[in-house]
Structures are given as structure tokens and as C-alpha cells.
Amino acid sequence: MSEPSAPVEPIAQQPERASQPILQAEGLSKVFEVRGGDRFGRKHPVTVLDDISLTVRRGESFGLVGESGCGKSTLARCLLRLLELSAGRVLFDGVDLTTLDRDELRALRRRMQFVFQDPFASLDPRMTAGAIVEEPLEIHEIGDQRERRQAALEMLADVGLTAEQARRRPHAFSGGQRQRIGIARAFVLRPEVVILDEPISALDVSVQAQVLNLLAKLQEQLGLTYVFISHDLAVAEYFCDRVAVLYLGQVMEVADRSALFSDPLHPYSVSLLSAVPVPLAGGRARRAERPQPIGEVGSVIERPPGCPFEPRCPVGRGRDICRAERPPITEPAAGHQVACHFPGEVSVHGARRNGAGTNAGDGDGTARPGHTETAAQ
């Protein structure tokens, strides 16, 4: 394809390209062969991702949230074709990744990068920090050695690490610092899209804040699009513009931040949000009001044929249509998609911050119709 090109201009200078889809998944499915528990240990197919379609707009932070088994990590890897798709396709800036050969794919990979969850395991312990950040430049044959070293040092400085530190190996750094190295490595190529797979989950709370700030700063500086995978809803709500909620390999709901977190339509989203403990006074009283999640997170191996959430759904449990038919994706409001036969029937009770407890510097507790509030403390 094209030669390795100059860094992409920041979004600010390209208003007409902003908010165009840069990454799209269409009917994406991924099936793994798993050795089962039967007597002969036969392999049988497990559908980890089941017909997923998503659109990520240029310049936004798109969140993927879900619990174990939802397939978010697998999805992340499929989006970059780090894993081969079993069905469907992924379009990057209009180009179908599944049709590219190895060289074309490699050239395209320059424009999309990956930051991993585990800051310990994702860095080669025998390479220095500087070498780790230089490596992508080497692989894509950008510049000569001197230029590469320079670019790497600049990138490390951008993430807050000195030239002296560039000479050290991963074991000499803390978890937060290692994650910065991972970020530097991903960003040195000036990609357009960065997929972050739980980038802060393994870090302490105070360090998480530092890394989030860094990511936000770099996004603005470089005009990046993020796909941010997280199991931590508070972080997703804080950081992402739009969020998709996944369950057992299917998309349950996609919406803007404000729409999803204040007025989720899918019973699973409601269940998820209700379950998140909020650091505000009066928590125990609030918790007594909240609906308890039903049952355990399901297994992709035993995914029901209809809606995957049906066995646990306060609305759909036992209902024929929910059991038998996979719900179609509807769009009740602009930009807000949901896969449910009965969207909007459950709402989040008093667990959200609005009007639920006093805090120094709290927002105004406006009541919203249809929600029961606990009395203000």
C-alpha cells in the first residue's frame, strides 16, 4: 500500500474528517475450538463473539465495557486483526482489513496500535525502555538510527520519563511507569487509533489517575481515537464519549456517555450500573434500595439461543420471546442503540449520584421522573 507517511495532522486542522467513522465492525464473529468436558474431550466450537457491529468515530473515546466472558479483549484483538475473524469484517478508514495481505496489513498497522493491560508482562524484560519504544520505528523502517533514538526519547519525555530512565530495564520501574512505557511504545508511531485493553486495571488508584490524565493529554495533542476497554464503569463513564455494553459476546447497548449512565435502556446495563458501588456518603442505605443482580455471569459455552441475558433478566426471564429470539438492534433515540425486546422497562433506583446523598461539592440533585429517590441525607 502507501509508503510510511508523515504523522497525521491533528484533528483540529481537518474538521471535515472529524466524526467520520474511522473503525467499523460489521457482523464480526469469532469462534474458538475448545476441548470440552465430555468423556472423549472432543473439540467443539465456542462462539466468543457473535455478530458484532460497531462504529467508532474519528477523535472520540469509545468504551467497551462488560464482565468476564463478554469478549471485549477478543473483540479488541479482532479489530486490529491480531486474531483472525471467523465471520464479518472490520473496516479501518474504509479499508476492509480482512482482505489485506500481510504486507498491506503491516503498513496499515502503523496507524492503529494497542496498549495492553499487564504492564509487567507486555514489556520484554531484557530490553531497555528506550529500545522498547524504538522498536516499532525499526519495524516500520522509519528514519535512521539517530532519528529513531531521538523520536523515542521525545516520546518518553512526553509520557514523563527522562533520558536517563530510557537506559533502564522494565524491572527497575513501578507499575505506573511501565504502563507509561507501554503507552510510549504505542504512540511513537503517531497512530490514528489506539486500542487500550484495561490499561489501568493493574494499577493503584492514585496512579490510575495519573495515567488517565496522560492519555487524555496525548489524545488532544495527537488527535487520537481511542477504543477503551474496561470493566470499571466509573472509569468508562469518566473517560469515554460513547460506550458499548457487551454480554457473552453480543452488544447489548451502545450510547453516549450521558445517555447510557443516567438512563440505560437495557436491563443488563441497569443491572451493571446498579451493582457499582459509589464512593459517596449514605451508601448502605442506598444499597438496600438497589435491585440485586440475579444469578451468576453466564458462560459463552452455554449461551442461550435467544437473548443471552434472559436467564438473569428481571424483565425477560422466562418470557418466550426472550428465550427463543435474539433481540434485534433498535435505535430508540439518536445514537442510542439497544438489543432488547423490552428496552427501558427497568430503571436504576436511587443508586446514581443524582440526589442520592450529600457530598462536599456535589452536583445539584435534580430528581428525574420515574426514579425513586432515597431521601437526601
Question: Can residue 55 be called a binding residue for other proteins (CB under 8 A)?
Answer: no
The residue (of 145 and 258) whose beta carbon lies closer to other proteins is 258
Instruction: Pick the stretch among 21-29, 134-142, 206-214, 221-229 that binds other proteins (CB under 8 A).
Output: 206-214
Instruction: Pick the stretch among 54-62, 115-123, 202-210, 331-339 that binds other proteins (CB under 8 A).
Output: 202-210
Q: Which residue has the cell 444499597?
A: 287
Question: Can residue 120 be called a binding residue for other proteins (CB under 8 A)?
Answer: no
Contact with other proteins (CB under 8 A) among 95, 105, 281, 329? 281
Instruction: Pick the stretch among 87-95, 340-348, 355-363, 368-376 that binds other proteins (CB under 8 A).
Output: 355-363
Sheet of 87-92, strand order: 43-57, 21-35, 87-92, 95-96
Question: Can residue 37 be called a binding residue for other proteins (CB under 8 A)?
Answer: yes
Question: Can residue 275 be called a binding residue for other proteins (CB under 8 A)?
Answer: yes
Contact with other proteins (CB under 8 A) among 21, 293, 314, 344? 293
Question: From CA 245, how far away is CA 144, in angstroms rounded?
Answer: 44
Amino acid, single-letter form, for residue 66: G
Instruction: Pick the stretch among 94-102, 114-122, 187-195, 295-303 that binds other proteins (CB under 8 A).
Output: 295-303
Question: From CA 47, how far away is CA 28, in angstroms rounded?
Answer: 11
Amino acid, single-letter form, for residue 171: H
The residue (of 21 and 282) whose beta carbon lies closer to other proteins is 282
Q: What minimum distance in Å lies between the beta carbon of 208 and other proteins?
A: 7
Q: Which residue has the cell 457499582?
A: 276
Strands 43-57 and 21-35: antiparallel
Interface with other proteins in residues 207-266 (CB under 8 A): 207-210, 212-213, 216-217, 231, 233-235, 237-239, 257, 261
Pattern of binders to other proteins over 162-201, x per CB under 8 A?
Answer: ------------x-x-------------------------
Interacting residue ranges for other proteins, rule: CB under 8 A: 34-37, 39-41, 46, 48, 67-71, 174, 176, 204-210, 212-213, 216-217, 231, 233-235, 237-239, 257, 261, 271-272, 274-284, 286-287, 290, 292-293, 296-297, 299-301, 353, 358-360, 362-363, 377
